[in-house]
Structure 1
Amino acid sequence: MEAGETDEAAVTREVLEETGLVVTVSRLVGCVERPAPNGVFAIFDYECQVTSGVLRAGDDASDVAWVDSATLATLPTADGLVEALSGWNCLPRA
């Protein structure tokens, strides 16, 4: 987040920068904490609706795709990601 930026503005900006998609930010679905070099990162995850744009990988990713739950199960993910999404009822549809 940038100084003075709201969560909604940060999510909108980051999603556009990292995926090429314009979104409308909705409800907070969950929060996790991850260790950081000088403390802890608090990560807030929001439900979003895509309103425009073309899905593309940002500069910190080699690929991007919409996937169903069967495909997600075959992909490498960050520790705890699938469990968090499952607990928040946010996994992709089959």
Structure 2
Amino acid sequence: MQEIQMDNKGPSAPPIPAVGVGGLIFNDQGHVLLIARRNPPRAGEWHIPGGRLEPGETLAACCSREIWEETGIRAIPESIVAVADRQIDGFHYVIIDFMAALSENEDGAAPCPGSDALDAGWFDPEHLDELPLVEGLEEVIAAGKRLRNGKNKGLSLDSHHSWLYA
């Protein structure tokens, strides 16, 4: 068993962690939807659409809202593909990344970057080498590909109760 370090206490510790969500979406061609972040942390780097959970909002609603706000594309979160506890540039986030399905009639849609994004687009996950990616994104995409190919089930979301099931 790995020992847990308790080293983030005191005046220099990050503020209370914020809950964030991300939406990993593949289109019918197997391309992944990415945005270039406009704001810190990691401004200018590419990531899946996502953002902070608002008070009273469910995880699923937050995921759908953030995808829409950042890309103009409608999607429905289906299962959890990754969870991260990240402390980046003075920010502390617990990030829950969902595999999301495109809503009806959205597969051919071209993303339009919202105010939180510098750019947005569909990318072949096998050719992301030239993009500055947020740390850990390649692993999230790989997990999503396994989920998409039936090699992993992920966690299912019961959006009515906001419960997760393995």
- TM bucket (normalised to shorter chain) is 0.7 to 0.9
Q: CA RMSD in A?
A: 2.0
Identity, in percent, stands at 30
* 1:2-55 per-position Cα deviation (integer Å, ceiling 9, x unaligned): 1111100100111100110111110111111111536x3000000111113641
Question: Where does residue 46 of structure 1 map in the other structure?
Answer: 98
Please tell me whether the aligned partners of residues 69 and 114 of structure 2 are also in contact (alpha carbons under 8 angstroms).
Answer: yes
The DSSP-based 3-state class of the residue aligned with 1:76 is coil
Which of 1 and 2 has greater Rg?
A: 2
More RCO (CA 8 Å, sep 6+) = 2
TM-score by length of 2: 0.48
Q: TM-score, normalised by structure 1?
A: 0.80
2:78 to 16, 26, 42: 26
SS of match in other structure, 1:71: coil
| Higher helix fraction (1 or 2) | 1
Q: Is the 8 A contact 2:99 2:144 kept in 1?
A: no
One of 137, 140, 161 as aligned partner of 1:81: 137
**Is there any run of 5+ residues in structure 1 with no aligned partner, and where?**
none
Cα distance between partner residues in 1 of 2:61 and 2:96: 13
